[in-house]
Amino acid sequence: MTAGGGHHPAEPTEVERRVAAIESLLVEKGLITSDMVDAVVETYEHDVGPLNGARVVARAWVDDAYRARLLADGTAAVGELGFGGAEGEHLAVLENTPAVHNVVVCTLCSCYPWPVLGLPPRWYKSFAYRSRMVREPRAVLAELGTVLPGDVEVAVWDSSAEVRYLVLPLRPAGSEGLAEDELVPLVTRDHMIGVAR
């Protein structure tokens, strides 16, 4: 994406105009350069996304020692694969089991483990998700297409302080013969937030 290069099917909105005005003023004053902004946009549009997390999960599925390190110190183990940084400084990994299903929300804001999942989707940031997931997780999961058996315990994590959470999903039945690289595409963002099982 280049700066403001998108087409505008409708009139620019007030917020769009204000953001453009701020960028123009900062650039014209020489306080920032366009390539600084571009670098961030490029990073989250192309480099940092749920594929990072999927690689972490696939490694944990095939490598028990890695899995143990991941659960003991998420940040360090994720760092072994080259991932880390803003909003992932303090990562903790929540292991799903046949008995327990973990799901993550941030009621106060929309905190999210950027280095392994990228930037959050709209529904994660929605007031509906933020308000409801802590009170009626099964109802919200069902709306998102995930109906959990009654004997699975739901554990909700509200990432209210410094730690960001990543769910380690169950390895799918029937995937025993697959190699690490073949497992990666089976892992979705929704698995790692916990809204898919």
Partner 1 sequence: MDGIHDMGGMHGFGAVVAQPGEPVFHEPWEGRVVGLMVAAGAAGLIPGSLRPRIESMDPAAYLAASYYGRWAHALEAGLVATGTLTVDEIDTRVAGGDPVPTRSSATSPALVAAIGGFLDAPGATSGVPVAAAFAVGDRVTVRRMAPEGHHRCPRYVRGVAGTVTRVAGGWPHPGEHEPEAIYTVRFAMADLWGADAEPGSLALDLWERYLA
For the annotated catalytic residues, the residue numbers are: 106, 109-111
In angstroms, how far is CA 47 from the centroid of its own chain? Answer: 13
Q: With respect to partner 1, which residue has the nearer C-beta, 90 or 186?
A: 90
Q: Which stretch binds partner 1 (CB under 8 A): 52-60, 159-167, 175-183?
A: 159-167
Nearer to partner 1, 135 or 180 (CB): 135
Q: Which of 96, 159, 169, 187 binds partner 1 (CB under 8 A)?
A: 159
Of 143, 121, 135, 94, nearest in space to 189 by CA: 121
Q: Which listed range, 20-28, 52-60, 167-175, 177-185, lies at the site for partner 1 (CB under 8 A)?
A: 20-28
Pinpoint the alpha helices (H) of the chain.
14-28, 34-42, 50-62, 64-72, 74-80, 114-117, 122-125, 127-132, 137-143, 180-183, 189-193
Residues 78-107 that bind partner 1 (CB under 8 A): 79, 84-86, 88-92, 107
Which of 119, 170, 178, 186 binds partner 1 (CB under 8 A)? It is 119
Residue 58 or 94 with smaller CB distance to partner 1: 94
Structure tokens at 64: 């028990």
Output the CA torsion 70→73→78→81 (10° steps). Answer: -80
Answer yes or no whether residue 22 interacts with partner 1 by CB under 8 A.
yes
What number of other Cβ atoms are within 10 A of residue 70's Cβ?
26
Residue 177: CB minimum distance to partner 1, A: 29
* Residue of 63, 68, 97, 131 interacting with partner 1 (CB under 8 A): 131
Residue 136 to residue 33: CA distance in whole angstroms:
46
Cβ 146 to partner 1, closest distance in Å?
11
